[in-house]
Chains A and B, each alone.
Chain A
Amino acid sequence: MMRRLEAAVVAFPAGLLGRTALAACAGISMLATLAHPARAQDGERGKLVYEQWCSQCHGLQGDGTGPAAQRMLTRPRDFTRGLFQIRTTAGGEIPTDEDILHVINVGMPGTTMPAWEALLPEGDRQALVAYVKSFYPPFATLPAPVPLTLSSGGRASDDRIAEGRLFYDSIQCWQCHGQAGRGDGPGAAELDDEWGNPIRAADLTQSWMFNGGSTADDIYRRLRTGLDGTPMPSFSDLLNAGFMTDDQLWSLSHYVRSLSPADPPQVQEVIQVERAARFVEVPRLASDERWDEVEAFYVPLVGQIITGDRAFDPAVTSVWVQGIHDGTELAIRVTWSDRSKSPDPTWQQLWQPRVLAALEPKGLGREPGARPDRLSIQFPAVIPEGMDRPYFLMGDSDTPVNLWQWRSDQTRPQRATGRGVNDITTTGPGILTSDAQWVNGQWQVVFRRDFEPNNAETELRFELGRPVPMAFFVWDGDSGEDGTRGAISTWYFLNLEEETPVSTYIAPFLAFLITGALGLLAITRARRRDRESAIGGTPAAATAASTS
């Protein structure tokens, strides 16, 4: 209330003097600071907190060019243009104070912006709101932002999700987000934000990475408000134009939500490998339908930032791992979202040079080029006793690791021994085989090998029930990744389930049969004894009785 009054009072003489809105605002903030010591204090607090916690990414001037900014592909926001992604206000409108506070509180999933609610006292967060707004002076003179009146969407149902898909097609969401929602649409390679930085279309199958939250409500709000500063427009006009109803927009939101798991994936340290049904080979192909029945384990990845050419913002942020064995042979399928089947000429031309130009570290002789997508699975050379494991970054000279390497430009995999990132020796595929498919922005790669290795001295031998340390490396070639520039995981354990599952199911049945047979035998014997003592029976009669 008070604030609006000030704006009105100062705007009047400003108009008389023929000043622009911008100049007027500078005046207002100065006057306000002088007139209200309390607010001046607020401002000082906000500045202090901002410079301590926010400026490294968002810059001292609020222009999004802090020292860390160039290591992020989703760049820290430049506040000086008053463009905010996550709002409750219409497209192009400034956000409410609550909108800004909300983002400070909960952070922005899928980006480096953390949630500050538990880290900073509320007063500091409030002071930050005011300070962030001060980077865009028109906040002081623009009419107070009015949140959109948003309906509530009801429950998702199969019908609504199917209806949502129809609109996903007719609106052409797939132009950027792709047919299966993995951000691999025909227009995705060329996207940039308002500041000219390359930006990835959201992978709609990973709702836990959505910048503005993962619920259908969040998705509906983003469709109504757009994500200002990004290519994602507001679709509110579709309602006004009668193209679709509000209810149908909700169906679309439910559809988008349905592309991700109901709950965010949980990390489990042990990846269980199921035993295949008896006398059935483990799956050879990435597309084998049996994989659909096997539990998938979520493995988050981070950029390799320890050594060499670092990957501060890798393209691949997680993989899903499944395994099947048959007692002598092991198949592992790794599945991950990747917007392009590298090397893809379109992405190589429209995406890769921009990423390499935008992301630190630059140079290092890294030119755009045809790079494949790559996957490496890492095991120790022998199953370690206790918890000692080789250095997770491809081993070291004392404790080497085994690597199973796959790349999209070759049909056969490679085995390799790693003694550190710069000391990797490949030894050909041996008995290791692989199969891969890329469909709608997703790689599925299967490795297959006997428990017994080619060379028992240098390679790991798998054993039932003995967990094996395992780690993952993934590179997206069209994002310019290779060598030490890629995504890595920490150690996990791979556990080959023992035969117990089979015997567990069969034993009760066998026990039942044996008990039944013994029972019958006892009865028969008893009867025979009766008959023998009475009449004197024949062996043939006894046989007939026992088989009936």
Chain B
Amino acid sequence: MRESKQLFRVLMPMVLAAAAAGCGGGDSGGGGAPAASEGAAAPAAMPFDVATAGNVSGMVMFEGTAPAPAAIDMASEATCAAKHTSPPTTEDFKVAGGHLGDVFIYVRSGPTDGMTFPVPAEAAVIDQSGCQYVPHVTGVQVGQTLTFRNSDGVLHNVSASPTVNRPFNIGQPGAVRETNRTLTSPEIMVPLRCQVHGWMNSFVGVTANPYQAVSSEGGTFDLRNLPPGQYVVEAWHSRLGTQQQTVTVTTGQTAQITFTFTQAMIASAVVPMGAPLDPHDHGPVAMGTGSTGEHVHGAAAAAGS
């Protein structure tokens, strides 16, 4: 019963996509730049009628006092220590004026499930600078090039520990400026670290579609050009776990949502790591704003609301 309904939800957009592709004609190749609609890299290959698209825009809030960042002792790597004008610190909580940065926001489920989206031609870049990863949290689409840049001129290794994707551990001496990898399956999240500098860590979210963002220092994020319909949007934070919101996207409109994390959540947070992202395989996704984590950790999800 449920499966047939889902099958319909999966197939319907495909039919639409085929139709759209027929109209648009041709492959997008280098992701050209007709200025018709902003945000979409290759509108011609989008699997739905982009004229029907709407947006989601939002804010991530933090209530309470975030733990003070810990100082990082970079004495063992003078080159990096010298790059920091103020003493370097851990980056777990990027809180400013009640706004929370470095939260990964993505479409957990919705009309886009099963659609195939063009892969962005542009690489997502993670810079190793001052012996820290910039940005601290990154989103990529399946198949999109992920570039590791070494701006430090010292040896780094980039060790990724996914569970769905295959892992990698790249040795990147200072003279090797860029190294590329691609991830082949959706996964929330893939932790990265450098074992030469034990304090360096970072997280990459891998999604099947382009509807993902990382909240800015001001806590804002935008998901643009979504097919209309009802979505479950999830917010993931490396220490606070996840929250979900149900949102309805309407053609030409921008729906607003707000996630609120609190200091109290730190103690009991369940942080999904290396979890497959396939809403069809794990039964119904919890709706509303409850915390999740049941995909990975069974039913032991923390309370939090």
B281 to A233, Cβ gap below 8 A? no
The residues of A that contact B170 with a CB separation of less than 8 Å are 91, 233-234, 237
Chain A residues closer than 8 Å to B176, beta-carbon distance = 237-238, 241, 243
> Contact mask A233-255 → B, CB, 8 Å, 1/0?
11101100101000000000000
User: Which residues of the other chain, B, contact A94 by a CB distance below 8 angstroms?
Assistant: 166
Given known contacts A192-B195, A243-B175, A83 and B157 CB-to-CB distance under 8 angstroms: no
CB-CB under 8 A from B76, the residues of chain A are 186-187
Given contacts A18-B6, A226-B169, contact A175 B196 (CB under 8 A): yes
Binds B, one of A1-9, A19-27, A320-328: A19-27
A81-B6 contact in complex given A176-B196, A233-B171, C-beta closer than 8 Å: no
- The size class of the interface chain B forms with chain A is 35 or more
Residue A171 is within 8 A (CB to CB) of chain B in the complex? yes
- Bound-state CA distance A190–B199 (Å) is 9
Question: Contact size class for A?
Answer: 35 or more
Q: Do the beta carbons of A170 and B159 come within 8 Å of each other? A: no
> Which residues on the A side are within 8 Å of B160 (C-beta)?
92
In whole angstroms, what is the CA distance A93 to B175 when docked?
26
Are A235 and B171 interface neighbours, CB within 8 A?
yes
Those of A151-187 within 8 Å (CB) of chain B: 170-172, 175-176, 186-187
**A370 contacts partner chain B, Cβ-Cβ < 8 Å:** no
What's the Cα separation between A373 and B199 when bound, in Å? 28
Which chain A residues (450-486) contact chain B, with CB distance < 8 Å?
Answer: none
Known: A175-B196, A192-B195, A231-B195. A83 touches B159 (CB 8 A): no
CB interface residues, B 165-190, toward A, < 8 Å: 166-176, 178-179, 185
Contact A234 B171 (CB under 8 A): yes
Q: How far is the CB of B272 from chain A (nearest CB, A)?
A: 15
Count: A-B pairs, CB below 8 Å: 97
Residue B197 contacts which of A17, A23, A187, A192 (CB distance < 8 angstroms)? A187
Q: Nearest-CB distance from B79 to chain A (Å)?
A: 11
A234 to chain B: which residues have CB within 8 Å? Answer: 168-171
Question: A505-517: contact bitstring with B at CB < 8 Å (1 yes, 0 no)?
Answer: 0000000000000
* A26 CB, nearest partner CB in chain B, Å: 12
Q: A231-B159, A241-B176 in contact; A19/B167 too (CB < 8 A)?
A: no
Give chain A residues whose Cβ lies under 8 Å from the Cβ of B154: 172
> Is A269's CB within 8 Å of the partner chain B?
no
Interface residues of B in 139-177 (CB under 8 A from A): 154-155, 157-161, 163, 166-176
**Does the CB pair A83–B167 fall under 8 Å?**
yes
Q: In the complex, what distance in Å separates the CA atom of A243 from the CA atom of B173?
A: 9
Is there a chain A Cβ closer than 8 Å to B198's Cβ? yes
Q: Decide: B281 and A20 in contact? CB cutoff 8 A.
A: yes
Query: Which residue in chain A gives the minimum CB-CB distance to B169?
Result: A233
A18-B281, A231-B157 known; A226 and B173 CB under 8 Å?
A: no
Cα distance A232–B168 when bound, in Å? 11
A237 vs B155: C-alpha distance in the bound complex, in angstroms? 13
Chain A residues near B178 (CB-CB < 8 A)? 241
Interchain Cβ contacts under 8 Å between A and B, 30 examples: A18-B10, A18-B278, A18-B280, A18-B281, A20-B278, A81-B163, A91-B168, A91-B170, A92-B166, A94-B166, A170-B175, A172-B154, A172-B155, A172-B173, A172-B174, A176-B195, A187-B196, A190-B198, A194-B161, A226-B169, A228-B167, A231-B157, A231-B159, A231-B195, A232-B169, A233-B157, A237-B170, A238-B171, A241-B176, A241-B178
Q: Shortest 6 CB-CB distances between A and B: which pairs?
A: A172-B155, A231-B195, A233-B171, A190-B198, A92-B168, A233-B169
Binding site for A on B (CB under 8 A): 3, 6-7, 10, 76-77, 154-155, 157-161, 163, 166-176, 178-179, 185, 195-198, 276, 278, 280-281
